[in-house]
């Protein structure tokens, strides 16, 4: 049998931290990065006698996410307790939702090679995040930080509708983009505010039954998710091809070795003993409440894309790429407001900026410079103060040391040479050193002009005004 005879089946459980100001059951701040255990109170530390109070914003945000992913909203919902012991879980139960999640039966569309595919969403429910264990930071043992305990999460559970790691990546990007657009989560994967449990199984093409699945928990980068799925699918196929059986288990993905490992903790086959949370009353939502949220839903990527096609005459591909990230798209719109050149802003973002993001393996929301920086750089090119070659260098600099591009070119001495005398000097020097090129040009080889301009740019370290160079070479050559 061959790899091609198998089909990979993937389902994702995406956890997104909601960007509410306060925690889900108390009024502690949700802010990331504070000193350990400073964002805590009797409720989120699970002091005896403390009681949870549901943050209404959490319900609102989850309903927003449900509506933006075409879910039905459950009008009578409730919270449940999921019981298990772990030091990062102070109550020894997580308040979650079991059989009546806030949102059910949704879907999102993903695109690959121009084809659209629908991924079903089984449910979206609200729950609280656990704290964090800091291992070995102060010698032996572990320390518990409960700042994150009680930060609100939504868990978005997909149907097993994905058939490749690319599908999974596209789906996760789509979810991330939607959550960013509706402003319910900042989706910072590097801070763990967006993470996914990945379920993978394989089956022979054409088979009706799903294969046994394995689960990889808490994955928080696109790259590891893709690698982990590819690895795990191959591993499962190999096991089956060798006559083995897949165990339903939780695996740990190791990014360094690029392999999955069994957690081998089956002694603890977890029984979470879910039951309704008696400390909280039922969540009842009126039609009016739901419709009001629907009415006020912000612009979603699809409609923004349409607007880019019509208003800015961008291509389908450009519009799609720009709108994929709300951050990128906002950067585009803000820079556009300042410099007025949609095509130029789009080009810079989609070529050089995206290339650098890829190289650095960072997400658009980690771009360190402002829309104003970018717009100014573009305007400097338009004015002829710098060449686009220098523009690229300015951009690199903006990633390292973001500041006003004018200051950058001043400090670096990158201002374009547009002085006729200076240009002429360079042109004469290059011509003198390259008699062969002159001969080639005269013999009709137009490429020789390009070579000469290139040499002149090299000589001026890219600072010469390329149009002036071009014109002056032509003038001299045609003399």
Partner 1 sequence: MDITKLTVHEIQEKLKSKELTITQITKAYVENIENKEKDVQAFITPLKKEALKQAEEIQKKVEKKEITNSLAGIPIGIKDNICTKGLKTTCASKMLENFVAPYDATVMEKINNENMINLGKLNMDEFAMGGSTEYSYFQKTRNPWDLNRVPGGSSGGSAAAVAANMVPWALGSDTGGSIRQPASFCGVVGLKPTYGLVSRYGLVAFASSLDQIGPITKDVQDSAILLNVIAGHDEKDTTSVKKEKIDYTKALKNDVKGLKIGIPKEYFGEGINAEVKQSLEEAIETYKKLGATVEEFSLNIADYALATYYIIACAEASSNLGRFDGIRYGYRAENYENLKELYRNSRSEGFGPEVKRRIILGTYVLSSGYYDAYYKKAQQVRTLVKEEFDKAFEKYDVLLTPTAPTVAFEIGTRSNNPLEMYLADICTVSVNIAGLPAISIPCGIDSQGMPIGMQLIGNKFQEETILNSAYTYEQNCRVRDVSKSDKMSH
User: Could you tell me which stretch among 45-53, 178-186, 284-292, 428-436 binds partner 1 (CB under 8 A)?
Assistant: 45-53
CB closer to partner 1 out of 62 and 342:
62
What is the secondary structure of 415-469 as a DSSP string?
--B--HHHHHHHHHHHHHH-HHHHHHHHTT-THHHHHHHHHHHHHTTT-B-HHHH
Question: What's the closest the beta carbon of residue 52 comes to partner 1, in angstroms?
Answer: 8
Minimum CB distance to partner 1, residue 89 (Å)? 9
Lookup: tokens for 361: 């393996």
Closest Cα to residue 440, out of 428, 448, 432?
448
- C-alpha distances in Å from residue 34, one per residue of 18, 41, 146, 256: 17, 14, 11, 29
Please report how close the Cβ of residue 142 comes to partner 1 at its closest, in angstroms: 9
Give residues 77-96 in contact with partner 1 (rule: CB under 8 A): 81, 83, 85, 87, 90-93
Can you state the angle between helices 301-311 and 316-324, rounded to 10 degrees? Answer: 140
Name the token pair of 214: 């394995």
CB of 283 to partner 1, least distance (A): 11
**Pattern 232-271, partner 1, x by CB under 8 A:** ---------------------------------------x
Helix, coil or strand: residue 60:
helix
- The mark string for 147-176 relative to partner 1 (x by CB under 8 A, - otherwise) is ------------------------------
Task: Report yes or no: 74 and 101 within 8 Å, Cβ to Cβ.
Answer: yes
Q: How far is CA 143 from CA 33, 86, 134, 172, in A?
A: 16, 12, 5, 32
Taking CB under 8 A as the criterion, the residue among 2, 4, 33, 49 binding partner 1 is 49
> What minimum distance in Å lies between the beta carbon of 184 and partner 1?
23
| Cα–Cα distance, 353 to 104 (Å, whole number) | 38
Q: Which of 3, 163, 223, 273 binds partner 1 (CB under 8 A)?
A: 273
| Cα–Cα dist 140/124, whole Å | 39
Measured from the CB atom, is 42 or 298 closer to partner 1?
42
Judged by CB under 8 A, which of 54, 126, 357, 394 binds partner 1?
A: 54
Q: Write down the least CB distance from residue 313 to partner 1, Å.
A: 54
Of 13, 32, 46, 105, which one interacts with partner 1 (CB under 8 A)?
46
| Near partner 1 by CB under 8 A: residue from 21, 31, 51, 361 | 51
Residue 27 CA to residue 40 CA, distance in Å, equals 9
Contacting residues toward partner 1, per CB under 8 A: 42, 45-54, 81, 83, 85, 87, 90-93, 144, 271, 273-275, 278-281
């Amino acid at each position: 049998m061959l790899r091609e005879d198998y089909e990979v089946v993937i389902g994702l459980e995406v956890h997104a931290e909601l960007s509410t100001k306060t925690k889900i059951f108390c009024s502690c701040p949700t802010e990331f990065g504070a000193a350990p255990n400073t964002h805590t109170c009797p409720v989120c530390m699970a002091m005896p006698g403390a009681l949870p109070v549901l943050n209404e914003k959490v319900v609102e945000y989850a309903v927003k996410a449900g509506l933006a992913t075409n879910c039905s909203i459950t009008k009578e919902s409730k919270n449940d307790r999921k019981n298990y012991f772990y030091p990062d879980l102070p109550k020894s139960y997580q308040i979650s939702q079991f059989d009546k999640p806030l949102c059910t039966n949704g879907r999102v569309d993903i695109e690959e090679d121009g084809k659209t595919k629908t991924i079903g969403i089984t449910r979206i429910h609200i729950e609280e995040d656990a704290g964090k264990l800091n291992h070995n930071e102060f010698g032996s043992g572990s320390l518990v930080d409960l700042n994150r305990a009680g930060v609100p999460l939504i868990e978005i559970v997909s149907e097993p509708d994905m058939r490749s790691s690319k599908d999974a990546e596209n789906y996760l990007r789509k979810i991330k983009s939607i959550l960013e657009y509706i402003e319910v989560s900042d989706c910072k994967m590097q801070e763990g505010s967006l993470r996914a449990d990945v379920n993978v199984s394989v089956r022979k093409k054409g088979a009706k039954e799903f294969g046994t699945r394995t689960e990889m928990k808490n994955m928080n980068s696109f790259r590891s998710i893709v690698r982990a799925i590819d690895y795990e699918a191959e591993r499962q196929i190999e096991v089956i091809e060798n006559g083995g059986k897949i165990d339903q288990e939780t695996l740990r993905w190791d990014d360094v070795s690029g392999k999955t490992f069994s957690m081998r903790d089956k002694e603890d086959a977890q029984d979470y003993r879910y039951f309704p949370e008696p400390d909280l009353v039922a969540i009842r939502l009126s039609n009016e409440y739901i419709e009001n949220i629907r009415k006020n839903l912000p612009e979603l990527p699809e409609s923004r894309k349409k607007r880019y096609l019509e208003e800015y005459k961008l291509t389908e591909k450009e519009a799609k790429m720009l709108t994929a990230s709300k951050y990128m798209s906002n950067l585009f719109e803000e820079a556009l407001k300042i410099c007025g050149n949609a095509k130029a802003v789009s080009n810079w973002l989609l070529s050089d900026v995206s290339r650098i993001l890829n190289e650095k393996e960072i997400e658009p929301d980690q771009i360190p410079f402002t829309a104003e920086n970018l717009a100014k750089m573009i305007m400097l090119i338009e004015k002829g103060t710098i060449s686009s070659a220098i523009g690229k260098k300015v951009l690199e600099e903006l990633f390292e040391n973001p500041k006003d591009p004018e200051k950058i070119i001043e400090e670096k001495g990158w201002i374009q040479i547009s002085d006729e005398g200076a240009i002429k000097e360079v042109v004469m020097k290059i011509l003198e050193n390259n008699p062969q090129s002159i001969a080639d040009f005269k013999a009709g080889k137009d490429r020789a002009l390009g070579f000469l301009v290139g040499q002149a740019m090299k000589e001026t370290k890219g600072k010469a005004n390329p149009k002036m160079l071009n014109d002056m070479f032509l003038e001299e050559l045609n003399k």
